[in-house]
Structure 1
Amino acid sequence: MKSKIHLYKNTPLFLGKTMIALVFALFMCFPTTAQNSQKAKELLDDVTAKVKSYDNIVINFSYSVQNLKQNIDQESKGNVTLKGNQYVLNFMGVTKIFDGKKNYTIVPEDEEITISKHDDNDPNTLTPAKMLTFFNSGFKYSWDILQNIKGRQIQYVKLVPINPKDNRKEILLGIDAQTKNIYNLIEMNKNGSKTTIVVNSFKTNQPISKNHFTFTQSKYPNYYINNLD
C-alpha cells in the first residue's frame, strides 16, 4: 500500500492537480492586493481633498528621531500655520516664513535672517503644505493596520518609495478614519533611523491676520540680513 501511494504522488495527475491549486491560489491573491492598494489610494485622495477644502490650517506637532546605531534620540515640538502655499513654521528655535514668493528663515540665536527665492519647480523643495500631500506621487500604496488611539480609529497606509535611490525604506501614514485628517507619520530610513511626527492639534479655518505671512524687517532691527537673491 505504501508503494502505491508513493507512486501515485509522483504521477502527472497528482502534479497537475497540485500545480492547478498553486496557480489558482496565486491568482486569488492578485485581486486582494489590488483592492488593498485601491482602498489605500482612495483614502489618500480623501485626505488630499480635505486639505484643499480648508481656508487655513493650524497644526501643533511633536517630532522625534531615533537611530540606535548612531546613538541618536531627539525630540522636539513645533507649530505651523498654512494658507494655500503660504506658511509660518516655528520649529527647533527657528521661524520660517513663506509669503508666496520668498522664503525667510529667522534664527534668533544667531540674530540672523536668510532671504531666498522660492522655486516651486525644484523637486527638492518641500514645504509644509506639500508635507500634507507628499504621498500623491512616487509611492506604492498598501492598506495597513487599524489602531484605536485614545478613542480615535487610526487607519494606517504603508507607502514604499518607487525610486530605489530614495533613502526612505517605508512610511506609515496614520489617518483619522472619521475626519480624514493626518494623525501621524512614521518614516523608516535605510540607515536605520526612525522619524515620527504626531499631530497634537489640527485646527482649520482660524481667524488669522492678513499680514500673518508677511515678513516685517523692522521687527528685527539688530539682525544680520543674508539676502541670497
Structure 2
Amino acid sequence: MTSFKNILITGILILSWNAQAQDKKAKALLDEVATKVKSYTSIVIDFKYSLSNAKENINQDSKGNVILKGNQYVLNFMGITKLFDGKKIYTIVPEDEEITISKVDENDNTTVTPTKMLTFFNSGYKYTLNEATTVKGKKIQYVKLVPISSKDQRKEILLGIDTQTKNIYNIIEVGKKGTKTTLTVTSFKTNTPLPKNQFTFAKNKYPNYYINTLD
C-alpha cells in the first residue's frame, strides 16, 4: 500500500510539474505576441468570422477588415464601420444612413476593442499550452485560455499563434451555452504607411445621414 501511495504521489508531482512547465511556455509565447504587437507602427488585418450553435441551428459567416495604429482604429464588419479617433467612436451604418457618436469610458476594462483583441489575454485568464497544428505550411501553436471570472459567458478560448511570426492566426471562443465563434486572420500587414486623416471623421462625407450624439 505504501509503495502504491508513493507511486501515486510521484505521478501527481510529475503531472503538476508538467502543467507548470506548460504554463510557463504558454506565458512566454503570449508575452512574445504582446511585445510583437506593440512594436508595430500600424497593423492592417483582413479576417473571416464564423458563428455557430448546433442546438440553436445557427451558422453565420462573414468577412471584415480593421486598420490599427496605437489605440486608434477603423473597423469594417457586417456592413458597419466603426472609427475610433482616440477620443470618440463613430459608428457608421450606411443601410440606415445613421451615425452614432459616443465617448469611450477609459475605466471600462470589459469593452473589447479591435486593439484589445490582439492583447486581451494579458490579464483575466488562466492559460495552458494546447495542441499544435500545421496550416498551409505554418505551424500554429494553440494556447488555451480559461476566464477567471465566473460571470464570463465564455467557457474557454483557443488562441492560435504562428510560431514563426508570433502573430495571431485565429481566435476560437466557446461559450457556456454552446455558441462557438472563430475569427481567422487571412491577411496581416504591418508598418503600412497610412493617410494622415485615416482616423479622422469627415462629416461632409455623409450629408444625408442622421447623426446621433450620445454624449
> With structure 1 as the length reference, what TM-score do the two structures score?
0.93
| Deviation readout 1:167-186 (Å, 9 max, x if unpaired) | 10011100000000000011
| 1:88 partnered with 2:74 | yes
Determine the C-alpha separation between the residues in 1 that align with 2:78 and 2:18. 43
Q: Please list every run of 5 or more consecutive structure 2 residues that lacks an aligned counterpart in the other structure.
A: none
The answer to whether structure 1 residue 53 and structure 2 residue 39 are counterparts is yes
Deviations 1:135-167 (A, max 9, x none): 011111101111010100000000011111211
Q: How large is the Cα RMSD of the aligned pairs?
A: 0.6
- Counterpart in the other structure of 2:20: 34
1:124 maps to 2:122: no
Moved over 4 A (4+): none
**Per-residue deviation, residues 177-221 of structure 1 (Å, max 9, x unmatched):** 000000001110001010000000000010110110000000000
The secondary structure found in structure 1 opposite 2:3 is helix
State the 1:123 CA deviation.
Answer: 2.1
Q: CA deviation at 1:125?
A: 1.9
Aligned to 2:53: 67
Distance 1:164 1:153 in 2: 33
Report the count of equivalent residues.
Answer: 215
Partner amino acid for 2:55? K
**CA offset digits 1:42-95 (Å, max 9, x no partner):** 000000000000000000000000001111100000000000000000000000
Work out whether 1:140 is the aligned partner of 2:126: yes
- Among 159, 165, 181, the alignment partner of 2:145 is 159
Look up the match of 2:194.
208
Post-superposition CA distance 1:98-143 (Å, at most 9, x none): 0000000000000000000111211232210001000011111101
Secondary structure of the 1:128 match is coil
Query: Unaligned regions of 5+ residues in structure 1, if any?
Result: 1-14
Q: CA deviation at 1:24?
A: 1.2
Cα separation, 1, equivalents of 2:40 and 2:106: 21
The question of 1:22 aligning with 2:44 is answered no
**Deviates further, 97-106 or 26-35:** 26-35
In structure 2, how many angstroms separate the alpha carbons of the residues matched to 1:198 and 1:178?
17
In terms of Rg, which structure is larger? 1
Q: Which residue, out of 183, 186, 195, partners 1:197?
A: 183
Aligned residue in 2 for 1:174: 160
1:188 to 174, 195, 201: 174
